[in-house]
Amino acid sequence: MIGDNKKLCSIKQILAVLVTTGILMASSLSFAARPLVTDDSGTVGKKTFQAELGIESSSRKDTEDNVEVKETQTELSGVFTYGITNTIDFVFGFPYAWKKVKEDGETVFDANKFNDTSIEVKWRFFEKDGFGLALKPGISLPTGNDEKGFGTGRIGYGLTFIASKEIEPFGFHFNAGYSYNDNRIDERKDIWSVSTAVTYEVIKNMRLVADIGIQRNTNPEVQTSPAFGLLGMNYSINKNIMLDAGYKFGLNKQEADNTVIAGITLIF
């Protein structure tokens, strides 16, 4: 009980930080961009096409019933955005993943396949004096093979509320989301998430970024929600090309221990 109470207090503290940041923001608009998990309220602009290409490599180690379990995953992702209007974006994303699980050094699972794809629409419905609000509804399509450990096997849907505020040279971003995780793999269906990010333009075109977030556990037998922190940077070579790199780490055992992130964003 003491351990559970400590975990509950830790989750409450994380949520308090995230929600407080969101409230403070509501008191010129910047873009969060890769490698952050937290989205920004900005849109790419009418008839503008943006391609975000990235790679993430994560690892997680735990001990279950005196057996050391190590999980590793590498994921290539493509997120393609098209500006329907100046305030509405159409977003399509697909990931390809390699997964491996070892128990006491022996490989018990090793496979690679496409995961579920996503279709989203971002609508920036308010913008004034560097403060922006947006809604991002979306659906996930069961393009992965759930029987092989990739995807959920059913269509899911969700909605994310996004707020962004710029106080140069800083940018602040806040997300609160809900998704209905319909699935055939015995996962929890009602999933909430909260995250917040800060960016700092240390020199022209180069920003340092930090992110923190928490999401309800999809495992119905586990109450502790995965929580993460992230540190990284991005650099705009010019108005059409941006490079990024980041390090994401678990704040509890339900999140991957270490994740290295790198990518490139192209705007046409």
From CA 256, how far away is CA 40, in angstroms rounded?
A: 24
- Identify which of 262, 198, 257, 183 has the alpha carbon closest to the alpha carbon of residue 227: 257
What 3-state class would DSSP assign to 129? Answer: coil
pLDDT at 22 over 50: no
Convert the pLDDT of each residue in 68-127 to its tens digit: 999 999 999 999 999 999 999 999 999 999 999 999 999 999 999 999 999 999 999 999
What digits encode the pLDDT tens for the residues 229-259? 999 999 999 999 999 999 999 999 999 999 9
Q: Which two tokens stand for residue 132?
A: 């922006």
| Sign of the alpha-carbon dihedral angle for 150, 7, 40, 26 | positive
User: What's the confidence (pLDDT) of residue 2?
Assistant: 41
- Return the pLDDT at 234: 97
Q: How confident is the model at residue 267 (pLDDT cuts 50, 70, 90)?
A: very high
Domains of the chain: 2-267 (2.40.128.130)
Q: What is the 3-state composition of the chain as percent helix, strand, coil, each rounded to the nearest 5?
A: 10, 60, 30
Torsion of CA 263, 219, 150, 228, to 10 degrees: 10
Give pLDDT tens digits for 182-234. 999 999 999 999 999 999 999 999 999 999 999 999 999 999 999 999 999 99
Distance CA 213, CA 138 (A): 20
Q: Which two tokens stand for residue 261?
A: 């992130």
Q: Is 240 helix (H, G, I), strand (E, B) or coil?
A: coil
Q: With contact defined as beta carbons under 8 Å apart, do 56 and 37 qualify?
A: no
Q: Is the peptide bond before 35 cis (omega within 30 degrees of 0)?
A: yes
